[in-house]
Amino acid sequence: MTEETHGGSEGGIPELPTFFDLLPIDKHTEIFGLSMQHELVPIMMSMLIIMFLGVFSMAATRNLKKIPAGLQAFLEIVVEALDNFVKSVLGKLSDKFLPFIGSLFLYILIMNLIGQIPGFHSPTTNYNTTLALTLLVFIATQYYGLKHNGPVKYFKHMFGEPKWMAPMQFPLHLLQEYLTRPLSLSVRLFGNLMGQHTVLAIFIGFSPLLLGLIPIPIQFPFVLLDMLLATLQAFIFAFLASFYIAGAIGEKDL
């Protein structure tokens, strides 16, 4: 498998080819204004992951038993671990937010890891994907903050304490809430995943061939590191989403 440069230009970011490259379609083809190489591949990969998670969930819960086994047992372990995680941040309200935070974590985790499979591409190496996920968290944070506190109480907390510091704290809080948090959340996930996969693609490109035919997998240690960091980044994103929602709701409700 050869490496390519992102965007197909010299000196670009090294990127591994996907099975879409095998299709008889020009990489620079645009559909509804979206290029095959930059926008459509991450979207199609994301759709494949959504379908996989949906089919897996239906298969695991189709015949539920009191004594779980197989897929049901595995899924219950995953759900219990996610429930404990969300409960540690959101307390008694964890049941309400478990579906959202749990789905977010699993979705990002699979998107991060799928790039390890030859022929597949991690959608989270595209900033449009991480920005969309961040906007989802941002909207959920504002919605639940307004729903639990009401508009007056929700915006009142932005003035902070003590009251005489409000003229300085209010603009800082607005800047943090509506700019720095969303920006850091989206850039962190994108930057880490892009960096990890770039390093992996570089070492795959440098892999020597034994007898001129058999590639020596010198990238293997980076594959293990990539998998660890991919899981860590999914956890950090889910944790920060939980933390932001908890902050918007207020400590008294947790």
235 near 163, Cβ under 8 Å?
no
59 near 71, Cβ under 8 Å?
yes
Residue 207, both tokens = 């892999």
For residues 36 and 89, give the distance between their C-alpha atoms in angstroms, rounded to a whole number. 40
Query: Is the predicted pLDDT of residue 28 greater than 70, yes or no?
Result: no
- What pLDDT score was predicted for residue 237? 96
Global pTM reads 0.83
For residues 129 and 133, give the distance between their C-alpha atoms in angstroms, rounded to a whole number. 6
For residues 148 and 232, give the distance between their C-alpha atoms in angstroms, rounded to a whole number. 30
Give tens-digit pLDDT for 49-88: 999 999 988 888 888 887 777 788 888 899 999 999 999 9
Local confidence band at 252 (pLDDT 50, 70, 90 cut-offs) = low
Q: Is the peptide bond before 162 cis (omega within 30 degrees of 0)?
A: yes
Local confidence band at 129 (pLDDT 50, 70, 90 cut-offs) = very high
**Which residue do the tokens 């926008």 mark?**
39
52 near 60, Cβ under 8 Å?
no
Lowest mean pLDDT among 31-35, 118-122, 141-145: 31-35
